[in-house]
C-alpha cells in the first residue's frame, strides 16, 4: 500500500522533492502526511519550516514562490491540499517548478483525482513520487488489510474474524483503525482477537442494526425487531434512522423485482448505485424473504409515517415503533 511505501522511503531518509498523493483513502493520506511532518519536525522542532496551503484558498503562484524560497537552517515542507489536478495542470508556474524543483524543499500535492495524460503528471513522475491512496478492492484485499493492521498492533486476527469486523464496523479505514486500537487495549496480553472481543468493545454500524431489524421483520419477530430499532435509535437521530429504513425498503423492493427477472447481483448494484459488494450481496440475499407487493405496501406506510413525523406532534420513537409493528404483521 502507498502508506507503507511512503513510510519506508521516509525512514530511509529518501524524501522526494515532490510528492503527488491522490485517492479516496483520506485517512491514509492524513497518516502519511503526519509521518512526513514528524520527519521534518526532527530537523526543526519549531515547525517553522512547514507550510500548509489549501488550493481552494491560495493562488498556486504563492505556493511555488514559497517552495522556491531557500532556508539556511533546514529543509522545507510545503503541502498543498484540495488540489484540482486538471486546473493545476494549466498553471505554467507549477509546471515550471516541477521541471526544476528546489532541492531544499519537499512539495506535497494532494488531490482526489489525477489525469495521467497531463504534462504535470509526467513531469512529477520524472523527478518525484506519485502515490495512490485507494481503499482495498474486494473482500480479499479488505480482509488482508485488517489482518495487516492487527499485525502492526501485535495481534492476530483470523480471516473469518477479520471479515466479521468489516461487517460489524464497516469499511472506513479511519474507523477500523480506531476499533483495532480499542481491541489492542481490550485484549491485553492475548495474542488473538476474537469475534466476541469485537462484540464487546466495537460499535456496530447503525446500518447493520437496520439489517438485523429487517431480518426480524421478515421472520415476524416483533420483539426482536423493536429491540434492534431501540438500539439504532440510541445511536442515531430518529430522522436518520427513518431515512435508513426507507432506503433499505427501496433497495429491497428493487432487489425483489430484479431477482424475479433473473438479474445478477452485480447488475442490481450497478442500477442502485451500491458500491460495497458486501452491502449489495446482503440486500440481494435478504430480498428473498419479501415479495414486491409487500414492499410496495411498506413504502406506502413509510410515506404515512413520514407525514406523521412531520405533522402529528407525536413521539417520533413511538411512531417508528408502530411502523415496525405494522411491518411485522402486515397491518397496512
To the question of domain 138-201 being in CATH 3.40.50.970, the answer is no
The secondary structure of residue 247, as a DSSP letter, is H
What pLDDT digit, counting tens, does each position of 232-261 carry? 999 889 999 999 999 999 999 999 999 999
| pLDDT for the residue 255 | 95
* R_g over Cα of the chain: 25
Residue 275 has pLDDT above 80, yes or no: no
| Cβ–Cβ < 8 Å for 172, 207 | no
pLDDT value at residue 47: 86
* Residue 210 · residue 244 · CB < 8 Å: yes
Is the confidence at residue 317, as pLDDT, over 80?
A: yes
What is the per-residue pLDDT for 301?
A: 94
Intrachain domains 138-201 and 206-329 with the same fold: no
Please report the pLDDT score of residue 1 as a whole number: 53
Q: Any bridge partners for residue 52, and if so which?
A: 79
Q: What band does 302 get if pLDDT is binned at 50, 70 and 90?
A: very high
pLDDT, tens only, 117-127 = 999 999 999 99
Give 2-132's CATH code, choosing from 3.40.50.300, 1.10.1040.10, 3.20.20.140, 3.30.470.10. Answer: 3.40.50.300
Domain definitions of the chain by residue range: 2-132, 138-201, 206-329
pLDDT tens, residue by residue, 171-208? 888 889 999 999 999 999 999 999 999 999 998 888 88
pTM above 0.75, yes or no: no
| Helix 173-187 and helix 159-169, axial crossing angle in degrees, nearest 10 | 120
**Of the candidates 281, 298, 292, the residue with the CA atom closest to the CA atom of residue 253:** 292
pLDDT exceeds cutoff 70 at 332: no
Instruction: Report domain 206-329's class.
Output: mainly alpha
Over range 86-101, report the average pLDDT: 90
Share of the chain above pLDDT 70, in %: 99
Amino acid at each position: 500500500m502507498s502508506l507503507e511505501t511512503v513510510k519506508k522511503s521516509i525512514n530511509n531518509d529518501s524524501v522526494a522533492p515532490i510528492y503527488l498523493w491522490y485517492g479516496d483513502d483520506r485517512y491514509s493520506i492524513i497518516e502519511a502526511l503526519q509521518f512526513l511532518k514528524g520527519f521534518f519536525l526532527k530537523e526543526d522542532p519549531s515547525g517553522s519550516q512547514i507550510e500548509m496551503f489549501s488550493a481552494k484558498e491560495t493562488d498556486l503562484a504563492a505556493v511555488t514562490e514559497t517552495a522556491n524560497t531557500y532556508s539556511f537552517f533546514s529543509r522545507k515542507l510545503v503541502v498543498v491540499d484540495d488540489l484540482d489536478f486538471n486546473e493545476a495542470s494549466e498553471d505554467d508556474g507549477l509546471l515550471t517548478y516541477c521541471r526544476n524543483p528546489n532541492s531544499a524543499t519537499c512539495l506535497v500535492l494532494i488531490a482526489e483525482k489525477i489525469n495521467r495524460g497531463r504534462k504535470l503528471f509526467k513531469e512529477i513522475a520524472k523527478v518525484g513520487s506519485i502515490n495512490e491512496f485507494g481503499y482495498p478492492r474486494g473482500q480479499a484485499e479488505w480482509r488482508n488489510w485488517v489482518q495487516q493492521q492487527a499485525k502492526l498492533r501485535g495481534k492476530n486476527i483470523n480471516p473469518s474474524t477479520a471479515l466479521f469486523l468489516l461487517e460489524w464496523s464497516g469499511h472506513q479505514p479511519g474507523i477500523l483503525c480506531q476499533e483495532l486500537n480499542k481491541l489492542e487495549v481490550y485484549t491485553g496480553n492475548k495474542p488473538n482477537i476474537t469475534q466476541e472481543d469485537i462484540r464487546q468493545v466495537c460499535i456496530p454500524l447503525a446500518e447493520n442494526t437496520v439489517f438485523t431489524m429487517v431480518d426480524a421483520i421478515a421472520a415476524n419477530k416483533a420483539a426482536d425487531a423493536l429491540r434492534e430499532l431501540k438500539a439504532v435509535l440510541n445511536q442515531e437521530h430518529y430522522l436518520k434512522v427513518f431515512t435508513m429504513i426507507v432506503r433499505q425498503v427501496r433497495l429491497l423492493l428493487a432487489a425483489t423485482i430484479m431477482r424475479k427477472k433473473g438479474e445478477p447481483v452485480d447488475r442490481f448494484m450497478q442500477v442502485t448505485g451500491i458500491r460495497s459488494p458486501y452491502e449489495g450481496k446482503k440486500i440481494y440475499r435478504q430480498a428473498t424473504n419479501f415479495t414486491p407487493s409487500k414492499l410496495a405496501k411498506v413504502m406506502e406506510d413509510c410515506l404515512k409515517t413520514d407525514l406523521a413525523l412531520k405533522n402529528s406532534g407525536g413521539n417520533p420513537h413511538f411512531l417508528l415503533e408502530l411502523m415496525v409493528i405494522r411491518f411485522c404483521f402486515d397491518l397496512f
